[in-house]
Chain A
């Protein structure tokens, strides 16, 4: 992919994988039977991050979305390049505050819905300063 000059962690991801990484690929003789099927392995970066410059991580600091499986302390992956459609979980900015809620667009009217009975939906009208910061794509929950 790109050469990550400034970040060179030990694990470079599986994209650098080449035939030389297969220890049993033996040029001179018979290699192991599995050689022909050597694959580069599963890479979470590749699976979970589709658009790197637009992808950010945040930590959830409330129970507002607990019924949606997003718990206090979880990390969410947020993509700013995705379109905020109805029913998507988004990071919304309301009067300067950032909130994680489910977006509802109903006949042009927008609401921010929590996933808990303890909070009520928020109606977005013209008097609020409202914008979408990004769309939540994955939640990482530690057990």
Chain B
């Protein structure tokens, strides 16, 4: 049996832990730059606040109902995520937890024979007790069915107690009948519309199709895997945690559009430095650096259609971990893609062509000074990790940083900053 543990309104839940007066109240969290709504509590949902909708559009509902608004506090959410995952690992064993996203994890229940409902309920209670975060749990023979079960648990929290177990054919079929194709794991809006137009509306309808049909209409192998999983045959296997990324990106929208080359270069230098930190953290070196900027388009509709971006890349002569070498390359690329007269709303840096750091350490062509460079990077990282406000930084990344993004409703970093601890009376 598999289980999926999914935190309820995760970002909002994190905010509530140290703001207990918000329990039972409508709360929302905004994306980077306070752009759109990325998390809502049940109370906010029922007031009609839409997921992923732009903040400015919802301002009326927010003011009328006194909905509590927060800017995203990723330091806080990352810390709570780790606590939830560590708690799960403690309860079922390290090897039986697959962290799927910041607020979801699959659990392998193969080694547990007890009453699944009681077991899942005890997990849910322990996670909430230890971390303050409420979760919903779906238990079923396959991951896809577990996700389906989880949806059911979430939709009927009061009756389900946030746990749903599908452990018999009758119960599975009943669940399939009440699930819309749109809610199936792996079926996006595109497929869902197509299926509905063909008369396939529920998961039960998909369950009854043949493998051949599914292969033709649900994206080949992916469709077959989905069908098998619905029938209780595991076809999507537990992956080992993806520790090392193959590409490292740092992109941010600007607080307000910028037009000066020097500001663009400052931003690019900062993003490069941040990406380089992530690079060194996973002990990789990069050989390709890609830089892009997004100019403002004339018909700023505020919607999420594809925006044109202008980018350029360089393949470095040797893979490197050194921030100053990457910044140097980024500056040249920035100058190349910048066009005077345009105003830019977003920029980003992508490091790729990653190789293990150890492979560059004994390069015959490397100058002796490189080792000092690496030593300096390590010292800088140690200082910055422990203090985390870029105490030591490169001058090119700017002192005032006028382009930093808006975060008008940021809560304190209660669990990661000594100076921002919650004050209790």
Contacts and interface: CB of A to CB of B under 8 A. Distances in A.
25 contacts: A6-B78, A6-B82, A6-B281, A8-B381, A9-B385, A10-B383, A51-B130, A52-B86, A53-B83, A53-B86, A56-B414, A57-B421, A59-B421, A59-B422, A59-B424, A60-B423, A61-B425, A64-B425, A80-B131, A80-B132, A81-B130, A91-B424, A100-B424, A129-B23, A133-B132
Interface in B85-105: 86-87, 90
Nearest to B131: A53
For the complex of A and B, 7 pairs with smallest distance between CB atoms: A96-B21, A54-B130, A61-B423, A53-B83, A62-B425, A9-B386, A53-B86
B20 interface: yes
Interface residues of A, number: 32
Contacts of B309: none
A99 interface: yes
Interface string A41-62: 0000000000111101111111
B129 interface: yes
Majority-rule SS of B interface residues: helix
B415 interface: yes
Interface of A: 2, 5-10, 51-54, 56-62, 64, 75-76, 80-81, 91, 93, 96-100, 129, 133
Contacts of A58: 421-424
B318 interface: no
Contacts of A129: 23
Interface of B: 18, 20-23, 78, 82-84, 86-87, 90, 129-132, 243, 281, 381-383, 385-386, 414-415, 418, 421-425
Contacts of B131: 53-54, 80
Nearest to A52: B86
A95 to B, nearest CB: 8
Contacts of B385: 7-9
A75 B20 CA distance: 20
Contacts of A51: 130
Given A59-B423, A60-B424, A98-B425, 4 more contacts: A54-B83, A81-B129, A91-B424, A99-B425
Nearest to A8: B385
A80 to B, nearest CB: 5
Contacts of A75: 421
A53 B131 CA distance: 7
Q: A10, A53, A60, A62: which has the most chain B beta carbons within 10 Å?
A: A53
Contacts of A54: 83, 87, 129-131
A76 B425 CA distance: 12
B422 A97 contact: no
Contacts of A57: 415, 418, 421
A61 B421 CA distance: 11
B31 to A, nearest CB: 21
B415 A56 contact: yes
Contacts of B20: 93, 96-98, 133
Contacts of B418: 57
B374 to A, nearest CB: 15
Contacts of A52: 83, 86
A20 B263 CA distance: 48
Nearest to A96: B21
Q: A8, A56, A100, A133: which has the most chain B beta carbons within 10 Å?
A: A56
A53 B130 CA distance: 7
B382 A10 contact: yes
Contacts of B82: 6, 53
A5 B280 CA distance: 11
B386 A10 contact: yes
